[in-house]
Chain A
């Protein structure tokens, strides 16, 4: 996510500058923690309920990722373009809940397992549908929020 940009300089001085300007706002970090708490439990509970056998479509991961992408597109567009700026809402809903509800690493491990066990078609389909679906989810909820704004 974008933050204030550092001026040009050597990599070392830029890193030092970035370290000093790190956003260590306690309330913001608390909001991220709270969102992460909720998102992680929701995802873990679904992963435990819908266990995907080897060589099958990983529904739990797929569902949380599509839902999380749709929600993030909705929240970020609404918070950036419609509501007054609120650092903590973005931190709680976006970085916290949506960030923790969705998972990149699990998809990569699932794809690696599929490829190693010879389920190449499944791996290609899972990667393609996840990426196209996640992108479409963000696109659609972004459009939905902007349309609602125009109609007011």
Chain B
């Protein structure tokens, strides 16, 4: 694959990852109607699991760039996690802020570890 095609593919796959995040988040936010940002949490945890799996599979550099960095990197989001935590804090929902941060971090690392073990099989 030439470099131009490779980077175009990174862009296209990144765009699709972003759309998948948007749709799943919208679906979960509408379905639960809760103040807790469950949509972003589910997106981020599922992405951490799959990225861990891809690392465990020990793909070639380019395959990891496309499946991992482009798709899953764009699918998960750090900025929305922080924005939603900040907005919860502004609303005085201190417990939800801590829940959002601690659950994302602990379950996220756990998902990455489990994914890696599954991938390395």
Contact = CB atoms under 8 A, between A and B. Distances in A.
B30 A6 contact: yes
B14 A109 contact: no
B96 interface: no
A108 B51 contact: yes
Contacts of A19: 27
B78 A111 contact: no
Nearest to A134: B82
Interface residues of A, number: 68
Nearest to A24: B23
B31 A14 contact: yes
Nearest to A107: B78
A67 to B, nearest CB: 9
Interface centre among A11, A111, A116 (most CB of B within 10 A): A111
A38 B11 contact: yes
Interface of B is mostly: helix
B29 A1 contact: yes
Contacts of A95: 18, 21-22, 80
Nearest to A77: B83
A88 interface: no
Contact of A99 (B11, B74, B108, B111): B74
Interface in B47-85: 47-48, 50-52, 55, 65, 69-70, 72-85
B15 A32 contact: yes
A105 B73 contact: yes
Contacts of B19: 29, 32-33, 36
Contacts, number: 220
Interface in A1-30: 1-6, 8, 11, 14-15, 17-19, 21-23, 29
Contacts of B111: 108
Given A15-B31, A100-B14, A116-B113, A105 B48 contact: yes
Contacts of B112: 105, 108-109, 111-112
B121 to A, nearest CB: 16
A125 to B, nearest CB: 13
Interface of A: 1-6, 8, 11, 14-15, 17-19, 21-23, 29, 32-41, 43-45, 47-48, 65, 68-69, 71-73, 76, 91, 95-96, 98-109, 111-113, 115-116, 127, 130-131, 134-135, 137-139, 142
13 contacts: A3-B26, A17-B30, A18-B26, A34-B15, A36-B15, A44-B70, A72-B82, A76-B83, A98-B77, A99-B79, A105-B72, A108-B111, A138-B86
